[in-house]
Chain A
Amino acid sequence: MSETPALELRHISKRFGSVIANHDVSMSVRKGEILSVLGENGSGKTTLMNMIAGIYYPDDGQILINGSEVVIRSPKDAYEHKIGMIHQHFKLVEVFTATENIVLGLRDKGRIDLKKAAENIREISGKYGFDIDPDKKIYQMSVSEKQTVEIIKVLYRGADILILDEPTAVLTPQETQKLFAVLRRMRDDGKAIIIITHKLHEVLSLSDRVSVLRKGEHIATVVTAETSESALTEMMVGKKISLNINRSEPKNLTERLMVKNINCSSREGVKLLDNVSFTARSGEILGIAGIAGSGQRELLESIAGLQHLDSGEILYLDPKTGKEENLRDKTPLQIREMGVRLSFVPEDRLGMGLVGNMDIADNMMLRSYRRGKSIFLEKKQPRTLAEEIIKQLEVVTPGVSTPVRRLSGGNVQKVLVGREIASSPSVLMAAYPVRGLDINSSYLIYKLLNEQKENGVAVIFVGEDLDVLLELCDRIMVIGSGKITGIVDARGATKEEIGLLMTKTEGGEMYA
């Protein structure tokens, strides 16, 4: 093609110490085109994009914009070359308004004319179809609104090349569709758009071309229309893998955990859980879907004994004795001492699940330290367990004595899930267990959850990818602003149906 690309990378390499993040990567994006950059976690997608955005500086190689070589040493340089990046973790100041965030860092001197800026923002919003209140503070915004602010921020600076790092990871299907519509409008407006993602169906529906990265290297760039999901996976992983979750029919369903009309509210008096009732049965996976922050966390934490309830009860049916125990307002320790085998994989792995500065063996001990008989720690058993987990789950680590925080996200998660499963639970709760994991690790986690289900464990799985929820779970419970808006059979439900329930506010009963 004769047209010069808007942005071209030639032989880019970047090293962090001894780790090679990118090696000899070349790719390009044209005006009026959406390019997907596809790759597993740790394949160097984000690093590569950060070099274009000026966060990192390449060790080797050239960056060309409209055919001429440029040097990008800082985000400021990137803006000057009309490059704007929307990061996965939003870079917004929480106590500022949308307008203040958008004008932050602009060069004009003296007093800020926030009124005029807000007007400009409304103009841009109108042009591309955004829905935003410029005077709203960021901490009062939903995730999707925050993302909109980020996009307007780069457009406000006149960016012609937009880079989006996993923009849909936190959005509902409806919000994703809205975002895609906006991106298509920007493409038609002549902007060059790069979108990083690892969701294949998004790649196929949105982009014009796809560049695939693997282990820091560029594998291929293909025209989206001429490729398929399986071909892309193969390029991404390097081998053929099946993307099927083996869901078995649930067997011996017995009621294990009955949650009855629980209510809880935050310190400010906002209702977090509103009259939530459901039953989790052994031998099935109960999925929980909902927009992030709709009460999923509070729900799991109240079962785990970490959240004070205003009213309601949580009944646990002991599989051995058949006795009913009320878990309400018990501490995690009391729950354990009652003989309730409850495992919890919280969403905040290094905050609540593991201690980042301790090694794998010591982290195992967090669950078993009470078993010791003498005043000295029993170190042998946790160490054996750690070694077992490393072997069975293929945790990539220099050894058992490596601090957990030095492991990559996927490996941290394997350690945590491994530990929780090792305690042979009868109820296993997992919140976003595959967040940030690559395809291989994700499917390993799904397999582990399925195994637990087949062993007669009641599994509660909070997920964000509706495709996965539909494939993995037996029933899906949808939660919206602290209320259960419906429980559907995963085998018959559609994504749209669940998406609708997620945004619904009035609780309609839809039991399967």
Chain B
Amino acid sequence: MLETLALVIQRAVVQGIPLLYGSTGEIITEKSGNLNLGIPGIMYVGGISGVIGAFFYERSTENPSSVLLVLIPLLASLLGSGLMALIYSFLTITLRANQNVTGLTLTIFGTGFGNFFGGSMAQLFGEGGSIALTKTSLAFQTSLPFAEKLGAVGTIFFSYGFLAYLAIIIALVASYVLKKTRVGLQLRAVGENPATADAAGINVTRYKYAATIIGGAIAGLGGLYFVMDYTSGVWTNGGFGDRGWLAIALVIFALWKPNVSILGSILFGGLYVIYLFIPNLARSTQELFKMLPYVVTIIVLIVVSMRKKREYQPPEHLGLSYFREER
């Protein structure tokens, strides 16, 4: 019984980590007033960039060092998703394009980009129609050596690759920065009321760019974790599914607080895979169960809007572009 419960929690965490990366990234972005709906696409790009980096490194050498096996895909992923966020920033901040349209376009683009390169690489170099980055994946999946000896505790707390712990650390750090530091205060001011921030001498454009790009890069790591750790280095077209949208739903669920997002992501992850643990489900019923995270989000939205507390609301200037001389 305990073993099963530990397993359920472990699966929930593993499912939750990509969501946590995505939502932490999106929260940081949204705190600057940018509603980046390109996050699902950015997470795809984060994943495929890592795959490309890892693939060429694995091919280039016989005995890859485990440090580089981690570092190269990591940097490639950060670069890929950072670039995507830069495109979004340039379009919405500098050119003041509509944020929703830009975001949705980037999601379509990112998904296509991932599938195109993933598919092509599998066609060109893959054995049996897919590529498996076994060595890289092993490096990413390395968990603490004593985990297996600790039974249930080990399964729940110590059985994950380093990216899982990094996700939680990033979320905690983001929470601290947003709440306690001057940079956080100024970032929140930019998202709430950029005119005020501007008048207070804060460089609104720089904060928006920085938050959006850092947020995008963090979200991209969710895609990387998914390929390298969750699917053991095998890229499947469309394999990432709708996790990106779930990450955005999680932002609302967590009320724009990264530390709440940690628990939220595990809950969402659990709801996402709960159908696997309920015996004798028909295919159609499974799909109903997969709806659960969204249902929970809607319930949270309803509850929050009924309470109508100002602190639970999205940043006031979310989704709008800022132009100083507009009157």
Contacts and interface: CB of A to CB of B under 8 A. Distances in A.
Contacts of B308: 267-268
A327 B195 CA distance: 42
Interface residues of B, number: 24
A85 B192 CA distance: 20
Nearest to B200: A105
A94 interface: yes
B173 interface: no
Nearest to A47: B327
B219 interface: no
Nearest to A53: B199
Contacts of A371: none
Interface string A86-125: 0100011111100011011110111110000000000000
Nearest to B193: A93
Given A74-B201, A137-B310, A268-B308, A91 B196 contact: yes
A104 B181 contact: no
Contact of B181 (A95, A96, A110, A139): A110
Contacts of B195: 91
Interface in A125-143: 137, 139
Given A55-B324, A75-B198, A110-B181, A105 B310 contact: no
Contact of A87 (B199, B201, B202): B199
Interface string A124-167: 00000000000001010000000000000000000000000000
B113 to A, nearest CB: 37
A interface, how many residues as a size bin?
A: 20 to 34
B151 to A, nearest CB: 41
B137 interface: no
Interface in A62-101: 74-76, 79, 85, 87, 91-96, 100-101
User: What 8 pairs across the A-B complex have the smallest Cβ distances?
Assistant: A105-B200, A76-B201, A91-B196, A105-B201, A93-B192, A91-B199, A104-B200, A75-B199
B193 A92 contact: yes
B56 to A, nearest CB: 41
A91 B201 CA distance: 12
Interface of B: 180-182, 185-186, 188-189, 192-193, 195-202, 308, 310-311, 313, 316, 324-325
A110 B189 contact: no
Interface in A306-346: none
A236 B308 CA distance: 47
Nearest to B317: A93
16 contacts: A75-B199, A91-B193, A91-B196, A93-B192, A94-B192, A94-B310, A95-B313, A103-B185, A104-B186, A105-B186, A105-B189, A105-B202, A111-B182, A112-B182, A112-B185, A137-B310
Nearest to A46: B327
A94 B316 contact: yes
Contacts of A111: 180-182
A446 interface: no
A56 interface: yes
A175 to B, nearest CB: 22
A91 B200 contact: yes
Nearest to A105: B200
Contacts of A106: 182
A100 B196 CA distance: 12
B192 A75 contact: no
B197 A105 contact: yes
A248 to B, nearest CB: 39
Contacts of A53: 199
Given A79-B201, A92-B193, A95-B192, A56 B186 contact: no
Given A56-B325, A267-B308, A93 B182 contact: no
Given A55-B199, A111-B180, A104 B324 contact: no
A207 B181 CA distance: 42
Contact of A104 (B180, B189, B316, B325): B189
Given A75-B198, A91-B195, A95-B192, A108 B182 contact: yes
Nearest to A91: B196
A186 B211 CA distance: 40
Contacts of B182: 106, 108-112
Contacts of A85: 199
A109 B180 CA distance: 12
A100 B185 contact: yes
Contacts of B316: 94-95
A112 B176 CA distance: 12
A91 B180 CA distance: 22
Contact of B196 (A74, A79, A92): A92
B192 A104 contact: no
Contacts of A91: 193, 195-196, 199-200
Interface string A211-224: 00000000000000
A469 B316 CA distance: 36
